[in-house]
Structure 1
Amino acid sequence: MKPKRLYYWLMLAVGISGIGGLTYWDFYQVRIAAVTRNQRWVKSVSELLHSEQASMARWIEKFSIESATFRDIANSRRDVAALILIDNRNRQAQRWVRPGLRLEPLDPRVSVLQLRALETQKTTMGPVLIIQAKPYFTVARPLGKNRALIVFLDAARAWGLLREEASLWHIRASIYDFEKNPMFSSFDPVIPAGALAQTLDRARSKETSGIVRLPRRLSWKWLITFHFDPASDWIFLITQHTTWAYAPVIFFVICMAGILLIARIPFMALVGTRREETAQALAQFAGRVDSYIRGRDAMLQDPPSGIKELFPIAATARWLIPQWKRAEAFPRDLALERKLLSLLVESLPEGILFFNAQGGVQLSNELGRVFLSLEQEGREARMVSGVQVPRGFLEPYLEPVFTGAQPNLGKEVDVAWADGKHLYRLWVERVEAEQDKTGGFIVVVRDITFRKQWDYVQEQVLSGITHDLRGPLSAVLGYLDLMKRQLGDGAAAKVLEYLRMAREAGVRLSQMVTDILDVVRFEQGKIDLVIEVIPVVDVFQRIKNTFGVIAEQKKVNLKLAVLGDSNMTASGDRKLLDRVLDNLVGNAVKFTPPEGSITVTVRSENGRVLFDVVDTGRGIPREAQSRIFDKFQQVRPGDRSAGYGLGLAVAKFIIEAHKGEIRVESEVGIGSRFAFWIPIRPPDHRAAGKSDALVNMDPNEVVFPPPAA
């Protein structure tokens, strides 16, 4: 701490201590002075009352009682209220009472006064009695050894003198006798009953004077002192406002204000000097910051060492200014990126449409805008579930995704242009933002006419080649079987192993040829369905027999469950449906690691039978899910362990031939879910094959169930 500041605080502490001690002493002395002053008033009042009683005693002693009657005594003074002549010999009493005054029952202290007068044989002054709310002096004069005259004298004059004395001294007084009975009060007492009882007990314990202990809410306003008068056995309570008692406190506040003002003079000089130095340092530091912002300085220099508060500001500026420069350049960079993105999207051969979460178009290219305007004819968009769905050609494909009924949708649609009919692949997908909120929707339209034509040429070539391969391949398999029978069990084990491996390779090749031929036939619409009623339990039993041992050997948990009626049936071609399930379950077993699980469930809903195959395998990337059901498409190209990409294409053809639908949901590292449904009623298979049934189907008719637990 600097010397000037230490001087200021030291001077302030000494001033506070001195003034505080003086104030406390003065406050204590003021309270003692109040007790002393009130004690003098009590003494003067006590002497006044005793002189009044003494004059009354002298009057009754001079009066000739034997020759006078009660009426003569009463008429001699106006303040005589009652006369009682008590004879102890016969326990009789004669009395005269002024009209309106009631003495019954007689106060026991009167009997005590009579006995004291007979014992001393002197005129004795008795207590002041409060009768009917009025004070009365009592005086006893003995008449022989057995009789005594008790005189009651009105004390109104004496009580008036008490009020005058209290008014002259500017105090409020209350008087209680030794039995705690109220005798006199110049105002309504403010002392609580508990404090009054405690004070009277202190007086009875011979404590002559003191300050009454009041509750805090009253002690700030009143100061009450008590005083005991042994001569009359009275207790005086004197009440005063405490405003004058707090004069020392006011004095303390004034002195403190003066000390603070005086001690502030050198401190203000110090503050002024310090302020000028700080202003100069701040101006210097502001110049450094300006040079750093404008790029004249490569880095921001430290502020002056005398101002430590600027160091965190400098550290913040070193971090904040580069961020601010980057933020300032962000709009320009963003505009450039948006321009480049627009050019890139415009140059793409595919049609691109990006809608925001409310259904408004944010980004598009020429082909996308052409598809958006097809069949609109000026029709306005309609609101569905709070999302704006455009009218026209794209409406039935956008609505399921826009409304949240499906996360994505892929269709093949035909569009007739001036140069002929084109086939397009339409893909709609919801784009998720943070916390599972919809960020928008993207639509991709790709012209697949040339690819389909090329696929047709490939199919024709493949059909011819595979048809020509089937005959020789069947002959090879037949000769292998014949060779195995000719050799018998006596052949060498290595020869039999070679024959087995050759036959397995031939069977795989035969299955591939069969798949290729089936794909070609399905695409040409040459598929015949043998519809029959299929118990679902039989289907699951065959799956268990086929894949149960393989799954157990691979340590994969295979679970089969019928949700609902165990006697559920489906209508379809048994062999083709078995082929679909074999393909889905076989892929799940193939790609699920050990300790994983596969769950196959079936349920009936809205006239359809829904199958679910859920695994915990390696999953399918999102970009591959749109083409997973196409021919010769693999999730990971080049992976021969996954086959040749025909199984799922065949499964899709079979399901669509049954007027059903198949979908996939997957996440890499978590697993995949393949779900398909077929009608419970037998489909009209005469129109089976490749058709537009899926394109025109209402996607909201069926809700695929969640995966079984």
Structure 2
Amino acid sequence: MSILAVFWITKLFIYPGLPAEQDLVVVLLVLLPTFAVMVWRGEEPVALLALSIGAEIVAVTAGIYFGGGVDNTSGPLLYALVIVLAGLVLSEPANYLAAAGSSLAYGAMVWVERAGLLPHLLPYAKPLDDAVATVVIVDAYLFLVAWVASYAVRQMRAVYVRAEEMRGEAVSALSHDLKNPLTIIQGYAEIAEDAPAGEQAHYLQRIRHAAQRALDLVHNVLDAAAIEGRPLEPTYEPIRVSEVVQQVIDFHQLVAEGKGLQLVSELTDVGAIIHADRQLFSRAIGNLLSNAIKFTGRNGTVRVTSAVRDGNLAVAVADTGPGISAADQAGLFQKYSRTAAAHRTEGTGLGLYIVRRIAEAHGGRVAVSSEIGRGSTFTLELPIEPRN
């Protein structure tokens, strides 16, 4: 408000001869930011400040016009004060936006005068020539381009910084997640050394499962690095769906039992044959099943179903976990993506990303259906025959 007050006082002393109605217009424009604050007082402070800066630009432009337009050589200096103020009270790109807005407003004033839509208010001044009008308008355009370019660069930088943060979180999560199965392996190995021969098989089985969990984590990280920026190339072979899926279910049975979960297999079309990469197909089902077990609470249920329809195989993994919000679902299959619930459990944020890449490599897709408090269902859909 102080900028406009200084301008108005200066205007009254330097240009006292303008008609009274023009003075009234200037006064109203000076008070516009105050009116805006009164009307929008319930909004966020940043929105209020931005609105106030915009109103000051409009008022300064009007004041320059009533003070002689481009012949008022001291008028544009007031824009500099608005730009500095915007940089101080708002985020860093605001000064670029204020500069662009000021330049556009000044250019619009010149264009309006040049087009004859409004009169030039100093009768003794020379009419605006084409050169002056062109320079001012082009200058306004260049300011706008500079602001857009600056905004784009800042957005790209923000994306890069967030990607690095997510990468760091994933590395930290991997270190933590590997510690758990390795601790289990060490503990059961020490117990097995002193256990009777008849009990060693039990401990060895748990060691094998813990080692496989650690290996799966490493595989996910290596797979994510290997497929970064290039497509997966599946090695197709005919595989019996029920056989591979059941093997994955059997492998996760011990972990499910340890959490008190009921792992249910409802595979139909048990004789179905699909042409796919056996290792990748198994990895995708394993990641979906591992996720379901991880996020389902004790005494819950994880159900695996399969069906063939319209030339596609659909394998669904449903759980009775906490569910996933619509906001989290939007980026669920992106690299390093972690939901709010996921931050309270182990994981690297790579499992579902790899499932998506495997599905796409086979010409298929993966989808999720979920509601908060009602569990989630992940469906992997692949074509029975390869698609070129």
TM-score (ref. length: structure 2): 0.48
The structure whose RCO (Cα within 8 Å, separation 6+) is larger is 2
TM-score, with length taken from structure 1: 0.28
Higher strand share: 1
Question: Which structure's residues are more often helix, by fraction?
Answer: 2
